[in-house]
Structure 1
């Protein structure tokens, strides 16, 4: 996952202390003008390099080859929904801090890195052909300016570290793997289906915009790894009932899915009438556009209490997760709908 290896971002105070303490040690190892030059070189390099490393540790959100649209939308939703607040200097409402605020903060930190180099280049010549006292005076002026530059991006550094903490421990969902998204109202058998056909065993991916966690499972067919995703709290109710963050999270899932299974409970025992379930199916199908959507009626073992006498069930498949009837047929139909062909090394 692209965010898991992000390093801790230092605070401005930590970075200044690190730079100046190492500069002091460098100065003690030498004498005269050389000591002042070494101190400035050490301090400016540590500040510039560390600030640059903060920025380059992050992927470039401007390029899809570095950040898949799924992760872009996901990061934006998470940063917007979390307690992370954008710096006031960004001009972005702290309650709506997202990827734009993060990119702006990273840009400010890169500015500070370049500024530290400029200060070094400005003052280093002054330390070469003068007396030690004057050189020390110039070096102290340079240190004061370096500290001021770092302090100017203190809020940005704090925000970047908070963003890193919000994103780095996300459970991994691989947007490059062929993916079956399972939708439908609660209690229609979605999680049971995912667990039954994969090795999920109740595995959930915890995200801040879901109350139960996204169900996640994997399986292999013909040496191809597929992932199944169940999204409670997102695709188990009509779009008009989702809040802004949940809507954005669904937008991320649009970039993830290769096939959609919408499960129905024709018995109505899930607590939702079949008519409402079919309306949800239609809304999901409309939102996901060209994505193959298969309608699956579950609980065929309870057909005696199905309510399809008064409704057009219009299901592509019928199955029972409870007894296993037609479960494999449904899975194979989803895999066939994806029609995934891996790229071979000599084709890339």
Structure 2
């Protein structure tokens, strides 16, 4: 997953302490003006390199293809929800990353400016210039203190997202709560070991896999996103639901005509219609679950997860609807 291996971002205090303690050790290995030069170079290099590493650890949100639209929209939704009121999600993160890169370049400039002053001077003057440079380096790092904190908060919010491969053929399972979505996904895949929570859902997102004709298919159960009408979702949930559109190759909308789920069939079908309208680029199949109790609905397929009746036929219908043809390696 694109955000999984992001390193912890140092605080400004941690970075300053690291740079100056390493510089002190470098200075002890030499004497006179050379010691001051070595201290300055070490402190500036550590400051600049560590700040640059904070930025380069992140994918480039501006470069097309570096971040899939699914993960871009998901990150934007999560970061807007994690931030303060009127937070701009990815735009705020990009601004913080830009500020930190500015600080990295500024540290290089300070090094160049003061290193030239240390070349032809006495030890006392060299020490004075080195201390001035250290003060400016510390000031630069402190100026981006809030940005470093914001970047680390973003890292913490994004690194544990469930892994969904945007390039893998994907079946999205939707419908009201208690219609059997999770039981279906868990029953046909290994999703029990692949469930994790998004910051804006109350239950885990189920992600499982199955193989058909040597092709791996991804099944995604999205409670909190596609299990109620759009008007009942908040802005963040709506944007996260929008992100799912970028990965869905087929949508299975499960309905429970027995209404044992607790929702009237009319409401379930209204949600189905809204999902059909939203997922214009993916086939949407209506699946009657709990068919052992009732079949009183017009559906593309009928099944009972509880008894196993029709489950395989539903999977075959989804695979056929996707009609995925893997790319063969060129000779």
Q: Distance in 2 between matches of 1:202 and 1:143?
A: 50
Match in the other structure for 1:284: 275
Residues 274 and 332 of structure 1: CA distance in aligned 2, closer, same or farther (over 3 Å): same
Q: Distance in 2 between matches of 1:132 and 1:193?
A: 76
Q: 1:215 aligns with which of 203, 206, 211?
A: 206
Match in the other structure for 1:24: 24
Q: 1:315 aligns with which of 277, 288, 299?
A: 299
Q: Following superposition of structure 1 onto structure 2, how do residues 1-348 of structure 1 map, counting pairs within 5 Å? A: 1-82=1-82, 84-85=83-84, 93=85, 96-201=87-192, 203-303=194-294, 306=295, 308=296, 313-346=297-330
Q: Distance in 1 between matches of 2:109 and 2:286?
A: 63
Contact 2:179–2:261 under 8 Å retained in 1: yes
The gaps in structure 2 that reach 5 residues or longer are none
Q: Distance in 1 between matches of 2:125 and 2:196?
A: 61
Figure out how many residues of one structure are paired with residues of the other and give that number. Answer: 331
Moved segments of 4+, more than 3 Å: none
Q: Distance in 1 between matches of 2:261 and 2:3?
A: 38
Counterpart secondary structure, 1:346: coil
Counterpart secondary structure, 1:15: helix
Match in the other structure for 1:88: none
Which deviations, in whole Å up to 9, do the C-alpha atoms of 1:105-133 show, x marking residues without a partner?
00000000000000111111110111111
The gaps in structure 1 that reach 5 residues or longer are 86-92
Q: Distance in 1 between matches of 2:239 and 2:203?
A: 18
Residues 203 and 138 of structure 1: CA distance in aligned 2, closer, same or farther (over 3 Å): closer
Counterpart secondary structure, 1:201: helix
Tell me the TM-score normalised to structure 2 length: 0.96
Which deviations, in whole Å up to 9, do the C-alpha atoms of 1:236-292 show, x marking residues without a partner?
111111111110110111112110001111112211121111111000111111211
State the Cα distance separating 1:97 from its structure 2 match: 4.6
Q: Distance in 1 between matches of 2:191 and 2:152?
A: 32
Give the RMSD, CA atoms, in angstroms.
1.5
Counterpart secondary structure, 2:293: helix
Tell me the TM-score normalised to structure 1 length: 0.92
